[in-house]
Amino acid sequence: MDLAYLRAHPQHLPTFLTHQRIRETPVGGGDVCTASRLTLDDGASLFAKTWPSGDAPAHFFATEAAGLNWLREANAAPVPEVFVALDEMLALEWVEPGSATPATAERFGRELAAVHRAGADSFGALWPGFLGPLPQDNTPSTGPWTEWFAERRLQPCLETSRDRGALSPDDVVLIDRVLARVSSYETQDPPARIHGDLWPGNVLWAADGRGWLIDPAAHGGHRETDLAQLALFGGAPHLDRIIAGYQEVWPLSDGWQSRVPLHQLHLLLLHTAAFGAAYRGAVLSAVAHL
CATH number of the domain residue 82 falls in = 3.30.200.20
- The residue that leads in pLDDT, 51 or 280, is 280
Residue 30 has a pLDDT of: 65
Give the whole-angstrom CA distance, residue 42 versus residue 188: 50
**Residue 54 pLDDT more than 80?**
no
**Residue 94 pLDDT more than 90?**
yes
CB 209 within 8 A of CB 76: no
**Residue 15 pLDDT more than 90?**
no
Residue ending a domain, among 93, 115, 149, is 93
Residues 20 and 117 in one domain: no
Residue 221 has a pLDDT of: 98
For residue range 191-204, what is the model confidence (pLDDT) as tens digits?
Answer: 999 999 999 999 99
Residues 179 and 261 in one domain: yes
For residue range 152-182, what is the model confidence (pLDDT) as tens digits?
Answer: 999 999 999 999 999 999 999 999 999 999 9
Confidence band (pLDDT; 50, 70, 90) for 22? confident
* Phi then psi dihedrals of residue 41, to 5 deg: -65, -25
Residues 117 and 89 in one domain: no
What share of the chain in percent tops pLDDT 70? 99
Residue ending a domain, among 28, 60, 93, is 93
Residues 19 and 78 in one domain: yes
Residues 107 and 38 in one domain: no
Calculate mean pLDDT across residues 231-256: 97
**Residue 82 pLDDT more than 70?**
yes
CB 273 within 8 A of CB 279: no
Residues 55 and 143 in one domain: no
Residues 14 and 80 in one domain: yes
Number of domains in the chain: 2
CATH classification of the domain holding 119: 3.90.1200.10
Residues 112 and 213 in one domain: yes
Residue ending a domain, among 71, 93, 115, is 93
Domain region containing 248: 102-288
Residues 50 and 106 in one domain: no
Residues 196 and 87 in one domain: no
Dihedral, 226, 51, 274, 83 alpha carbons, nearest 10: 10
Calculate mean pLDDT across residues 218-244: 98
Residues 78 and 127 in one domain: no
Confidence band (pLDDT; 50, 70, 90) for 106? very high
Residues 81 and 122 in one domain: no
CB 252 within 8 A of CB 224: yes
